[in-house]
Chains A and B, each alone.
Chain A
Amino acid sequence: MATTLRRPTTRLPALPWDRIIPWVVPAALILLWQLLAQVGVINSRILPAPTDVVQAAIRLTLSGELLKHVGISTWRAVVGFLIGGNIGLFFGVLNGVSRPAELLADSSIQMIRNIPHLAMIPLVILWFGIGDEARIFLVALGVLFPIYVNTFYGIRAIDPGLIEMGRVYGLSRRQLFSQVILPGALPSILVGLRYALGNMWLTLIVAETIAASSGIGYMAMNAREFMQTDVVVVAILLYALLGKLADSAVRWLEKLTIAWHPSQNLT
């Protein structure tokens, strides 16, 4: 009896399904979006079809406009990140290893950290005008605190037994720092780096949409004036792409520097 109920087994061809399946839902959504836009259910002023967005991207790339805006945005992001990141790392390390420095500076830094840095925009415009300095300042501010907090706690969370061991085994203060403290804090610092990169793009988007004459944010705001919804969507997708790239860079850095860490699926 049971054998008659058995269904013929549908054997799936040997494809890397684990890699394909996560893309099924996004692909289906884009397909649906395209369909609805073509039929006219979605007004192209509200959301243009994916093909229109691609066309807009190609048009902007060929005119060189896209590259120019991406270039200037990336430059602002990198400069702001380097300034803020280095300040955060410096104070994180200093307060992490020195109790007097922590007493002196930590509570002040925590107070400033609790001000939403985007709330500073009016003041920053008053200080720096609407030039690049204002945007770089805001990005630096957004990057500084995640790096600071994670560096500080990364250093403080190191097993004191390891530091004691390093001393008994004759490491100098400098060796102790470079061979025990810094590598021990690195996983936490890299978590801070991830948060910082997220903050970096977020800050830049807001800063560029409020006052700028170039950059991806400007391109989006300018397109809005002319109701070019497709360009706006291109700008949004660009931010997503750049954010993803930054995240991948950190992942690569993690593979390179903390391969020993449990988070890296050590085998």
Chain B
Amino acid sequence: MTYTQTSYPQTQFTTASGTHVWLNGVTKAFGDLTVLDNLSLEIFPGEFVAVVGKSGCGKSTLLRLLAGLETPTRGEIALDGQCLKGLNAKARVMFQDSRLLPWRKVIQNVALGLKEQARPRSHWALQQVGLDSRAKDWTTVLSGGQKQRVALARALVTQPHLLLLDEPLGALDALTRIDMQRLIETLWQEQQFTALLVTHDVEEAVMLSDRVIVVQNGRIDLDLPINLPRPRHVGSPGLTELKQQILRQILQN
């Protein structure tokens, strides 16, 4: 009750740092269908990488492999030098649909799976996304954008070292999406986790990431660093140019 008014010092919980991600010759096949084909990729600690591509190119499978929801058919995945087996405990996933439990209040959704200090940590996470005032509401009364912010708080509450974003803003309206992009960028800058964003929105990828990876037919088609200063603005010349370059690359095949 009293927690809602309290502000938590950043240092109390922000001890996270990013995971080093390394994929070596990863192939994933479902039956005869090869979704990822001998894919190798290194992501550095604290880096923000966006993966774009046409639907069905294997970008979501890449994310599911990193979450440990799928196992590679061939090749290996290492996190901080350790081979990934089973579910990835270091990672948290934010899904396109918020996947909040409707039978739990907002705060209980954020506290999902927390063992210690569940209340203060959940309030802290809700403060980060600016929704602490809705802590005691049912999730069903929230708007789509608010639901995704709660989902983001739930993902960040455990201070993950790797945040996997599976088209988290795909279902939001354009204005809410800009707000969420800013929020994700700010929280990433503060907490320095490694982030992998899967998206079909090239502009969003260029806005947020340090590096954009284009996946085509299960392979990396383009690996492009985005060296634009932050905060970035939609419509700035550099951003538009990069966006065009990536779009051309995707559409030429």
Report whether chain A binds chain B. Answer: yes
A residues bordering B, Cβ < 8 Å?
A: 159, 161-162, 164-171, 175, 179-180, 183-184, 186, 258, 260-262, 266
Looking at the assembled complex, report how far the CB atom of A51 sits from the nearest CB atom of chain B, in whole angstroms: 49
Task: Indicate if B142 sits at the interface (CB-CB under 8 A).
Answer: no
Contacts of A183 in B (CB 8 A): 101, 103-104
Which of B51-59, B86-94, B230-238 forms contacts with chain A?
B86-94
Which residues from chain A contact B97 at a C-beta distance below 8 Å? Answer: 161
Q: Do most interface residues of chain B lie in helix, strand or loop, or is the interface mixed?
A: loop
* A175 proximity list for chain B (CB < 8 A): 113
Count B interface residues, CB 8 Å.
22
A266-B112 contact, Cβ under 8 Å, with A165-B99, A168-B87, A183-B103: no
Q: How far is the CA of A18 from the CA of B134 in the complex (A)?
A: 34
Instruction: Tally inter-chain residue pairs, CB-CB below 8 A.
Output: 54
Among B16-45, those with CB < 8 Å from A are none
B69 close to A266 (CB less than 8 A) = no
Question: Which residues from chain B contact A179 at a C-beta distance below 8 Å?
Answer: 101, 112
Task: Specify the main secondary structure of chain A where it touches its partner.
Answer: helix
- Partner pick for B112 among A159, A164, A169, A260, CB 8 A cutoff: A169
18 interchain pairs (CB within 8 A)?
Answer: A161-B95, A161-B97, A161-B99, A162-B101, A164-B69, A165-B95, A166-B112, A168-B91, A169-B92, A169-B154, A170-B113, A170-B158, A175-B113, A179-B101, A186-B103, A258-B103, A260-B138, A266-B140
* Distance of A184 Cα from B112 Cα, bound (Å): 15
Cα A261 to Cα B103 with chains together (Å): 7
Contacts of B141 in A (CB 8 A): 266
**Within the assembled complex, what's the spacing in Å between the Cα atoms of A1 and B91?**
80
Q: Does B135 contact A (CB under 8 A)?
A: no
In the complex, chain A residues whose CB is within 8 Å of the CB of B92: 168-169
| B170 contacts chain A at the CB level, 8 A cutoff | no
Residues of B near A266 (CB, < 8 A) are 138, 140-141
| A residues less than 8 Å from B112 (CB atoms) | 166, 169, 171, 179
State whether B95 touches A171 (Cβ < 8 A).
Answer: no
Asked if B67 lies at the interface with its beta carbon under 8 angstroms from chain A, I say yes
B233-251 CB mask vs A (1 if < 8 Å, else 0) is 0000000000000000000
| Nearest CB of chain B from residue A158's CB, rounded to whole Å | 10
**Residue of B67, B69, B103, B140 most packed against chain A (CB within 10 A):** B103
- Give the residues in chain B near A184, CB-CB below 8 Å: 101, 103
Q: Does B102 contact A (CB under 8 A)?
A: yes
In Å, the complex CA distance between A164 and B70 comes to 11
With contacts A164-B69, A168-B92, A169-B112 taken as known, whether A260 is within 8 angstroms of B103 at the C-beta atoms is yes
**Closest 9 A/B residue pairs (Cβ):** A165-B99, A183-B103, A170-B113, A169-B113, A260-B103, A168-B93, A161-B99, A260-B102, A260-B138
CA distance A186 to B101 in the complex (A): 13
Rounded to whole angstroms, the CA-CA distance of A169 and B155 in the bound complex is: 8
How distant is the Cα of A171 from the Cα of B104 in the complex, in angstroms? 15
CB distance from A117 to the nearest CB of B (A): 33
Q: In the bound complex, what is the Cα–Cα distance between A200 and B212 (angstroms)?
A: 64
A sample of 17 more A-B contacts (CB under 8 A), given A168-B69, A171-B112, A260-B104, is: A161-B95, A164-B99, A165-B99, A166-B112, A168-B92, A168-B93, A169-B92, A169-B154, A170-B87, A170-B89, A170-B158, A179-B112, A184-B103, A260-B103, A262-B140, A266-B138, A266-B141
Q: Which of B87, B95, B112, B140 has the most CB of A within 10 A?
A: B112
Once bound together, how far apart are the Cα atoms of A204 and B242, in whole Å?
Answer: 76
Q: Which residues of A contact B95 (CB under 8 A)?
A: 161, 165
Complex interface bits, B139-153 against A, C-beta within 8 A gives 1, otherwise 0: 011000000000000
Looking across the interface, which residue of chain A has its beta carbon closest to that of B99? A165
**Nearest opposing residue in chain A for B108, CB measure:** A179
* B residues less than 8 Å from A186 (CB atoms): 103
Looking across the interface, which residue of chain B has its beta carbon closest to that of A187?
Answer: B103
B89 contacts which chain A residues (CB < 8 A)? 170
CA distance A179 to B102 in the complex (A): 11
| Contact residues of B between 137 and 181, Cβ < 8 Å to A | 138, 140-141, 154, 158
